[in-house]
Amino acid sequence: MIKLDITKALVSAAEIEAVKGQVIAAQTALEEGNCPGNDFLGWLHLPTGITAEFMTKLQECTQTLRENCDTVVVAGIGGSYLGARAIIEALGNSFQWLTNKGENPNILFAGNNIGEDYLYELTEYLRDRRFGVINISKSGTTTETALAFRLLKKQCEQQRGKEMARRVIVAITDARKGAARTCADKEGYTSFVIPDNVGGRFSVLTPVGLLPIAVAGFDIAKLVQGAADMEQAVAEGVPFEENPCLKYAAVRNILYRQGKKIEILVNFQPKLHYMNEWWKQLYGESEGKDGKGIFPAAVDFSTDLHSMGQWIQEGERTIFETVVSIEEPEHKLLFPSDEENLDGLNFLAGKRVDEVNKMAELGTQLAHVDGGVPNMRIVVPRLNEYYIGQLIYFFEKACGISGLTLGVNPFNQPGVEAYKKNMFALLGKPGYEKETEEIKKRL
């Protein structure tokens, strides 16, 4: 199992004791459905509830896409793409693009920005490809995703013909409402439902994450198994000392109350960059409301030790760190010896590269703790489907408990509507006439 180490979190046993009852109460409220946002708790027992029938339907669709596409574009934004991207990048070869000999389709992402150049360059790239599209939107009305999907649908139909497009365009959306549902039903696309009671940022273990991950060639059964095992390991009734979700939520809330307003998620493996992004959304959107919430930041070490390291070591003391540490790499590479030894590094020759990385990790932890930065470590035995499944569920459940302990509804996101309203007013969307008039006065 993955493990949480809080021995360097700079919190005392008495402080833990004082908050223990609150996080346990938050967990009970979550489990009993007595909490704010209780209509969005479908993720809580999702891993153990996944059926063989559902997996078979996913695998059939996966096979169709893999047989007919060299490239699959996932159109989605926020919770409708970050989980899939995080896991595909964590598990995949860092040079998949360059090394792919056709055994797995390349997975690209669109619909998560409004960059004209990005979309232009994407459509150019796809010109010679046998590509398919997974269109993911719970609401079915998100502008970024709808824009990308319009472009991709048209191009796919023109390039591959209407009949093949029908086979290689898949929709993942609401069961009944929204443009993505209407379009899927009208065109006869294979479609999957995002359950009503699962919010975007908690949806990676629904088809939103599982289909793209399976198409990329990874074992989603192992991913789900890892999540299900973690679901059991942190179930209600598991004592505080053995429940990493309760401990993580407790320490975060203690530190926040002491003025540590920023949590930095740290990795020492570049493949985990998008796990950071997924985590930032999960915690940022869940906790940042009502004038409260830890600001979730993230860095990739050792890369960012050469840029953000100075701030973390000596800047304002309002931060704490949570390190995701991978115990064992998948490959073996030794530090080379060099006859001239111009860089003076021959003392490392013959050591595993990972040993050097681990000493960078330990040295950084000690330096940052000395600098007044509390440190938690999440130790993940291997970077594979099973342990990523555990990590995903661990972060989700800890997030629910932590947000409830903070005193917010962790399952809504009213704040994300503000920019949309202004954007539509500025663009003159029908129905927004009054807002358009008002906003123009401010320009």
Q: How far is the CB of 416 from ligand PA5 (least distance, A)?
A: 6
Instruction: Please tell me whether residue 201 binds ligand PA5 under the rule CB under 6 A.
Output: yes
Among 26, 77, 251, 264, binds ligand PA5 (CB under 6 A): 77
Edge-to-edge strands, sheet with 262-267: 3-5, 375-382, 319-328, 262-267, 295-300
Helix 385-406 to helix 220-233 angle, to the nearest 10 degrees?
40
Q: How far is the CB of 139 from ligand PA5 (least distance, A)?
A: 3
Tell me the torsion sign for CA atoms 243, 248, 254, 257. negative
Backbone angles phi, psi at 264, to 5 degrees: -110, 120
Q: Cα separation of 375 and 164, whole Å? A: 52
- Give catalytic status of residue 271 as yes or no: no
Instruction: Please tell me whether residue 300 binds ligand PA5 under the rule CB under 6 A.
Output: no
Q: How far is the CB of 142 from ligand PA5 (least distance, A)?
A: 3
Instruction: Please tell me whether residue 85 binds ligand PA5 under the rule CB under 6 A.
Output: no
- Give catalytic status of residue 285 as yes or no: yes
Instruction: Please tell me whether residue 145 binds ligand PA5 under the rule CB under 6 A.
Output: yes
Choosing from 89, 263, 285, 396, the catalytic residue is: 285
Among 129, 138, 252, 260, binds ligand PA5 (CB under 6 A): 138
Instruction: Please tell me whether residue 79 binds ligand PA5 under the rule CB under 6 A.
Output: yes
Q: Which stretch binds ligand PA5 (CB under 6 A): 78-86, 122-130, 181-189, 393-401?
A: 78-86
Among 28, 59, 68, 139, binds ligand PA5 (CB under 6 A): 139
Instruction: Please tell me whether residue 280 binds ligand PA5 under the rule CB under 6 A.
Output: no
Least Cα distance to 367 among 1, 7, 8, 5 occurs for 8
Q: 15 or 174: whose CB is closer to ligand PA5? A: 174
Choosing from 186, 306, 434, 441, the catalytic residue is: 306
Q: How many residues bind ligand PA5 (CB under 6 A)?
A: 14
Among 89, 229, 231, 285, binds ligand PA5 (CB under 6 A): 285
Q: How far is the CB of 118 from ligand PA5 (least distance, A)?
A: 18
Among 200, 293, 400, 410, binds ligand PA5 (CB under 6 A): 200
Q: How far is the CB of 80 from ligand PA5 (least distance, A)?
A: 4
Instruction: Please tell me whether residue 137 binds ligand PA5 under the rule CB under 6 A.
Output: yes
Number of other residues whose CB lies within 10 A of the CB of residue 357: 17
Q: Which stretch binds ligand PA5 (CB under 6 A): 199-207, 308-316, 403-411, 428-436?
A: 199-207
Contact 47, 199 (CB under 8 A): no
Among 4, 47, 78, 396, binds ligand PA5 (CB under 6 A): 78
Spatial CB neighbours of 435, under 8 Å, sequence gap ≥ 6: 421, 422, 424, 425
Number of other residues whose CB lies within 10 A of the CB of residue 226: 24
Instruction: Please tell me whether residue 361 binds ligand PA5 under the rule CB under 6 A.
Output: no
- Give catalytic status of residue 45 as yes or no: no
Instruction: Please tell me whether residue 287 binds ligand PA5 under the rule CB under 6 A.
Output: no
Instruction: Please tell me whether residue 226 binds ligand PA5 under the rule CB under 6 A.
Output: no
Footprint (CB under 6 A) of ligand PA5, residues 94-113: none
Instruction: Please tell me whether residue 396 binds ligand PA5 under the rule CB under 6 A.
Output: no
Instruction: Please tell me whether residue 247 binds ligand PA5 under the rule CB under 6 A.
Output: no
Q: 198 or 249: whose CB is closer to ligand PA5? A: 198
Question: Binding residues for ligand PA5, per CB under 6 A?
Answer: 77-80, 137-139, 142, 145, 199-201, 285, 413
Residues designated catalytic: 285, 306, 420
